[in-house]
Chains A and B, each alone.
Chain A
Amino acid sequence: MTQTIQRAVALDEAWGLSPSVALRPEPFGALAYHFGNRKLTFLKRPELVDLVRGLGTARDVRAALLGAGIPEVRWPAYLGALQGLAAADMIRPTTTVREGVA
Chain B
Amino acid sequence: MSITEIARPVGGTLVEQFELGLDAPICLTWELTYACNLACAHCLSSSGRRDPRELTTEQCEAVIDELQRMQVFYVNIGGGEPTIRPDFWHLLEYAVDHQVGVKFSTNGVRIAPERARFLASTDYVDVQVSLDGATAEVNDHVRGPGSYDTAIQALANLREAGFKDAKISVVCTRQNIGQLDEFKAIADEYGATLRLTRLRPSGRGADVWDELHPLPEQQRELYDWLMAHGEGVLTGDSFFHLAAFGEALPGLNLCGAGRVVCLIDPVGDVYACPFAIHDTFLAGNLLTDGGFQRVWQDSELFRELRSPQTSGACTSCQFFDKCRGGCMAAKFFTGLPMDGPDPECVQGYGESALAADRTVPSPSQDHSRRTATRNQPVMLQLSRREDLPVSPAAPPVSACAENPLAGYTP
Cβ of B36 to closest chain A Cβ, rounded Å: 27
Asked if A78 is at the interface (CB within 8 A of a chain B CB), the reply is no
Question: In the complex, A22→B124 CA distance in Å?
Answer: 14
Chain B 31-75 interface mask (CB, 8 Å, partner A; 1/0)? 000000000000000000000000000000000000000010110
Given contacts A42-B14, A44-B17, A45-B11, contact A26 B73 (CB under 8 A): no
A44 with B124: CB separation less than 8 A = no
Residues of A in contact with B, size category: 10 to 19
List which A25-55 residues lie within 8 A (CB) of chain B. Answer: 25-28, 31, 33, 35-36, 38, 40, 42, 44-45
* Complex contacts, A31 vs chain B, CB 8 Å: 22, 26
B71 with A22: CB separation less than 8 A = yes
Extra 8 A-B pairs, beta carbons < 8 Å, given A27-B22, A28-B17, A36-B123: A27-B17, A31-B22, A38-B74, A38-B126, A40-B73, A42-B14, A44-B14, A45-B11
Q: Which of B17, B20, B73 contacts A22 (CB 8 A)?
A: B73
Do most interface residues of chain B lie in helix, strand or loop, or is the interface mixed?
A: loop
Question: In the complex, A25→B14 CA distance in Å?
Answer: 15
B14 with A35: CB separation less than 8 A = no
A27 with B124: CB separation less than 8 A = no
Question: In the complex, A45→B9 CA distance in Å?
Answer: 11
Query: How many residue pairs bridge A and B at CB < 8 Å?
Result: 44
Asked if B179 is at the interface (CB within 8 A of a chain A CB), the reply is no
Question: In the complex, A26→B126 CA distance in Å?
Answer: 26
Question: In the complex, A44→B23 CA distance in Å?
Answer: 14
Cβ of B252 to closest chain A Cβ, rounded Å: 11
Question: In the complex, A25→B69 CA distance in Å?
Answer: 12
A26 with B23: CB separation less than 8 A = yes
Asked if B374 is at the interface (CB within 8 A of a chain A CB), the reply is no
Question: In the complex, A89→B101 CA distance in Å?
Answer: 18
Could you tell me which A residues sit within 8 Å of B by CB distance? Answer: 22, 24-28, 31, 33, 35-36, 38, 40, 42, 44-45
Question: In the complex, A24→B24 CA distance in Å?
Answer: 9
Chain A residue at minimum C-beta to C-beta distance from B124: A35
Asked if B370 is at the interface (CB within 8 A of a chain A CB), the reply is no
Cβ of A77 to closest chain B Cβ, rounded Å: 12
Q: Which of B22, B24, B26, B73 contacts A35 (CB 8 A)?
A: B73
* Complex contacts, A35 vs chain B, CB 8 Å: 73, 99, 101, 123-124
Cβ of A41 to closest chain B Cβ, rounded Å: 11
A44 with B11: CB separation less than 8 A = yes
* Complex contacts, A26 vs chain B, CB 8 Å: 17, 22-23
* Complex contacts, A24 vs chain B, CB 8 Å: 23-24, 71, 73
* Complex contacts, B74 vs chain A, CB 8 Å: 33, 38
Cβ of A81 to closest chain B Cβ, rounded Å: 13
Cβ of A55 to closest chain B Cβ, rounded Å: 20
B26 with A40: CB separation less than 8 A = yes
Question: In the complex, A33→B20 CA distance in Å?
Answer: 21
Question: In the complex, A42→B14 CA distance in Å?
Answer: 8
Chain A residue at minimum C-beta to C-beta distance from B103: A38
Question: In the complex, A28→B22 CA distance in Å?
Answer: 9
B20 with A27: CB separation less than 8 A = yes
Question: In the complex, A24→B260 CA distance in Å?
Answer: 14
Chain B residue at minimum C-beta to C-beta distance from A27: B8
Chain B residue at minimum C-beta to C-beta distance from A29: B17
Cβ of A82 to closest chain B Cβ, rounded Å: 18
